[in-house]
Amino acid sequence: MVRSKSWGSRIADAAIVGVLLFLALLTLAPLVHTIAESLSNGAKAAANEVGFWPKEFTWASYTTLLQGGGFFHAFWISVKIVILNGVLNFFLTILMAYPLSKTPQEFPARRIYIWVVVFTMLFNGGLIPWYITIAHLGIINTIWALVLPGAVQVFNVLILMNYFRSLPKELDEAARLDGAGPWYICWKIFVPLSLPALATVMLFDVVSQWNSFFNGFILINNPHNYPLMTFIQQLVTESQAANLSLLTPAQIAELSKTTGPSLNAAKFIIGMIPMLAIYPFIQRYFIRGIRLGSLNE
């Protein structure tokens, strides 16, 4: 690599590094602030006195979140949902995207299917019909109520379909000449070549499943079986001033140390950990997938 040592380019380098550092710090700042808030006394955090360093350091927010075992129970439920939903999504998205990626000559009804799929992106029946459908499947109050309704994400199907279509048609033809059937071509050729797109859609899916809390409220009837985000959401709303009525004075005293912002912050941090943990794995696929793609062209 050739390096120019002229002053002008050094200044330009310094400016670029400066801007990049600034952007990196800008991205990190809210995270650091949140961690600082989560470790601060609740009153200090509520009074907006916490910057990037905890004030009156305390683990109280974390102990409140972790107390009573409910936290880990909910955590495990969320893990199960993400795994079940992830596996289902993986297979169903591929099974739907692959045929739809074919040309109308190969798959005459493709256009109709695409319209049906896109229609569901633009219009939906609303909360009540959605709820009644799930209720009549008899899965309310089971883990399947949180897994099955999101088993096919139409948006992800379209992403993957377009990625399949971008792959060279010659691959498909060559495979067929060698006697491969559609099933074999899909799983042995298209899927391995599409890891970047698959990693992207899986990431979308896992993150949205992990973060959703509203479905837990209305599809699960017993708070004992809430997934993590619903559980945390409930804890946070209950700790707000008006809801203190549900607690005893001793618990109010404990909660007042962790009111609002610091408890919220701890919620964000703990809720983030699993996503941070899986990201490196998915990133590996990103890189490998991109390299594979580049070698084929």
Partner 1 sequence: MASKKFSKAAIVGSMALLAGSLVNGVVSAHDVPAVNMNYVSKSLTGASHPLSWYFGNIKPYKKTVNITVGWFSSEPTGLPPGATQTNNAYVTTVEKTLNVHLIWSFLEPASELQTKENLVIADNQLPDVMVVNQQTMEELAQAGKIENLTSVFQKDASPYLKSLYASNDNRALKTATINGKLMAIPDTQIGYQWNLLWIRKDWLEKLHLQPPKTMAQVVQVAKDFIAHHLGGKNTIGLVGPGTNSPNSLTMYNNFGGLDTIFGAFGAYPTYWIDANGKAEYGSVQPQMVAALKFLRNMYKEGVLDPSFATQTTQNEEAALDSGQAGMFFGPWWISGVVEQTVENNPKVQWIAVPAPGLTANSKLNVIAPPWSENYIVVKKGFPDPGAVLKAIAIDQTDYRGHNPAGLFYPQYNPGWANWPLLVQLDYYDSVPLQYHDLSEALAKHNPGLLAPRDKIIYDRILAAKAESSDPAKDIAYWAESEEWTVGAKAVSENLSRYNQIEPLQVVLPVSMEAEWTELQSLENQTLLQIITGQKPVSAFQQFVQEWKALGGTKITQYVQAHMTQFLG
The residues binding partner 1 (CB under 8 A) are 43-44, 46-49, 68, 70, 127-128, 131-132, 135, 141, 217-218, 221-224, 234-235, 237-238, 240-253, 256, 259-261
* Dist. CA 51–CA 276, nearest whole Å: 23
Least CB distance to partner 1 at residue 234 (A): 5
Least CB distance to partner 1 at residue 170 (A): 52
Supply the Cα-derived Rg of the chain in whole angstroms: 25
Which residue number, 194 or 234, has a Cβ lying nearer to partner 1? 234
Structure tokens at 139: 């899965």
Assign 222 to helix, strand or coil.
coil
Which residue number, 189 or 238, has a Cβ lying nearer to partner 1? 238
Beta-carbon count within 10 A of 211 CB: 13
Query: What is the dihedral sign for C-alpha 161, 113, 81, 90?
Result: negative
Which residue number, 216 or 289, has a Cβ lying nearer to partner 1? 216
Which residue number, 120 or 251, has a Cβ lying nearer to partner 1? 251
* Dist. CA 282–CA 199, nearest whole Å: 6
Least CB distance to partner 1 at residue 39 (A): 17
Least CB distance to partner 1 at residue 141 (A): 8
Which residue number, 208 or 233, has a Cβ lying nearer to partner 1? 233
Least CB distance to partner 1 at residue 45 (A): 8
